[in-house]
Amino acid sequence: MIIDKISRARGALTVPGDKSISHRAVMLGSLADGVTEITGFLPGADCLSTIDCFRAMGVDIDVNGDNVTVRGNGMRGLKKPAKTLYTGNSGTTTRLLCGILSAQPFDTEITGDASICKRPMGRVTKPLALMGADIENEYCPLIIHGTRLCGIEYDMPVASAQVKTAIILAGLYADGKTVIREKEKSRDHTELMLGAMGADITVDGLNITVGKTDRLSAVNVAVPGDISSAAFYMVLGSIMPNSEITIKNVGVNPTRTGIIDVLNDMGADIALHNARESAGESVADIKVRSSHLSGTVIGGNIIPRLIDELPVLAVAAVYAEGTTVIKDARELKVKETNRIRAVVDEFKKCGVDITETDDGMIINGGKPIHGADFKTYGDHRMAMSLTVLAQLADGVSTLDDADCARVSYPGFFDDFYKLGK
């Protein structure tokens, strides 16, 4: 696909629902007693994989655009699926399912696409094994022999909401208490949703305690727009002259807003309006105007608060004056692709002064760049970040696989180009 270029970005839009919250609403709704009505659901490929997996385990789920109805089977009501559960490209589906399936009275097999089969699952299967789980393999396909679990105390070696959530979900079924200690706070949508559903869960700073929970009560979930999707417009609006974009109804849970802090530190003009609470999550409209960015250092405990936004923050760094250092971001190597290597290799193609480091990258920005034929590596966030990068490049750029954006943002290109009209 040729990446069309716009000369300014103006207007208001809403982005699709938050991917992390959409997954959790389906999973927890499936385990709840009662009916969960989800509005603003993200009908992206990853969340549809989650729905397929729970339907295969006997949960009645209706999808109508971004409205989803889940008729929960209760904590003990999942059925053995007739075949291998297929999680597509979704790390969240795969890892969170491990926590639930470990405690079921049946065996299951899960697998996903080529990218999922390369992503490490040992980070989930090892702590679950300490709880008594019986999971074969550290890469997909995983064979999970459901069994009785017991609570553990676990110090998280990496900041990962997926690992944390898998342990929490297993903890709901385990005998005794499960205590999880984080070093850095990762996204906490699971804790918030489980609290609202009456689970035995308490959060004290970086420590989470979960007790055996026989019953979750269904709650309706209004999913806010995904800040990880809004991120592309925050960077676009900042770097494009004569631009002003309002992104309405975006989730601004503090565990997710690192991108706003970093862009504003770089000199961006980003403000939150109409801040409110919706179903326990913070929501606001985000207004971004053109600005002159300067390089910065992105590292330390802000990383989990912006991990998925680092590819597009690297785009901001290209158009910022001076040097930007991204560090402490080794986790990027185990995403849909190695996002450090992919960003460095693709950005080099268009003349960006960028160096790969062991835990991130260094970008000397503010220099002219030219168009290039970009590879996405089948990674949705690469496809969308490269589209933003190409806007101010001199000459034509192409993407080998624009379609992969549908994993988290099915209408991305339509929304993007509307802002240029």
Which residue of 17, 382, 408, 416 would you call a contact of ligand SPQ, by CB under 6 A? 408
Q: Are 236 and 389 in contact (CB under 8 A)?
A: no
- Beta pairing, strands 244-251 & 35-39: unpaired
Under 8 Å between Cβ of 330 and 361: no
Whole-number minimum distance, CB 407 to ligand SPQ, in Å? 7
Q: Using CB under 6 A, pick the residue from 50, 108, 111, 160 that binds ligand SPQ.
A: 160
x-or-dash string of contact with ligand SPQ, 201-230, rule CB under 6 A: ------------------------------
Q: If you write DSSP's letter for every residue of 2-46 in order, what string do you get?
A: B----S--EEEEEPPBPHHHHHHHHHHHHHSBSEEEEES---SHH
Which string of DSSP letters, residue by residue, matches 357-377? ETTEEEEEESS--B--EE--T
Between residues 78 and 121, which has the closer beta carbon with respect to ligand SPQ?
121
By the rule CB under 6 A, 102 interacts with ligand SPQ: no
Whose tokens are 């089977």? That residue is 73
109 token code pair: 């097999």
For ligand SPQ, how many residues bind (rule: CB under 6 A)? 19
C-alpha distance from residue 116 to each of 88, 139, 227, 257, 322 (Å): 7, 8, 23, 27, 36
The two three-digit tokens of residue 196, written as one number:
């609202």
| Catalytic-role residue among 308, 345, 403, 415 | 308
Examine residue 336 and tell whether it contacts ligand SPQ (CB under 6 A).
yes
Q: Which stretch binds ligand SPQ (CB under 6 A): 137-145, 251-259, 329-337, 410-418?
A: 329-337
CB-nearer residue toward ligand SPQ: 161 or 393: 161
Q: Which stretch binds ligand SPQ (CB under 6 A): 71-79, 97-105, 137-145, 158-166?
A: 158-166
d(CA 13, CA 229): 11
Determine, following the binding rule CB under 6 A, whether residue 308 of this chain makes contact with ligand SPQ.
yes
Alpha-carbon distances of 326 from 91, 309, 316, 338, 410, rounded to whole Å: 23, 12, 12, 15, 29
Q: Can residue 406 be called a binding residue for ligand SPQ (CB under 6 A)?
A: no
CA distance 216 to 91: 24
Q: Taking the complex as a whole, how short is the minimal distance between the CB of residue 17 and ligand SPQ, in angstroms?
A: 12
Start-to-end CA distance of the chain, whole Å, equals: 20
With CB under 6 A as the contact rule, the residue among 22, 50, 87, 90 that binds ligand SPQ is 90
Task: Provide the minimum distance between the beta carbon of 314 and ligand SPQ in the complex, in angstroms, as a whole number.
Answer: 14
Residue 62 appears among annotated catalytic residues: no
Residue 19 or 375 having the CB closest to ligand SPQ: 19
Contact between 20 and ligand SPQ (CB under 6 A)? yes
Residue selected from 50, 92, 125, 376 as contacting ligand SPQ according to rule CB under 6 A: 92
- DSSP letters of 179-223? EEE-SSPPP-HHHHHHHHTT-SEEEETTEEEE---S--B---EEP
- Contacts with ligand SPQ by CB under 6 A lie at 19-20, 46, 90-92, 160-162, 165, 186-187, 307-308, 331, 335-336, 381, 408
The residues annotated with a catalytic role in the active site are: 308
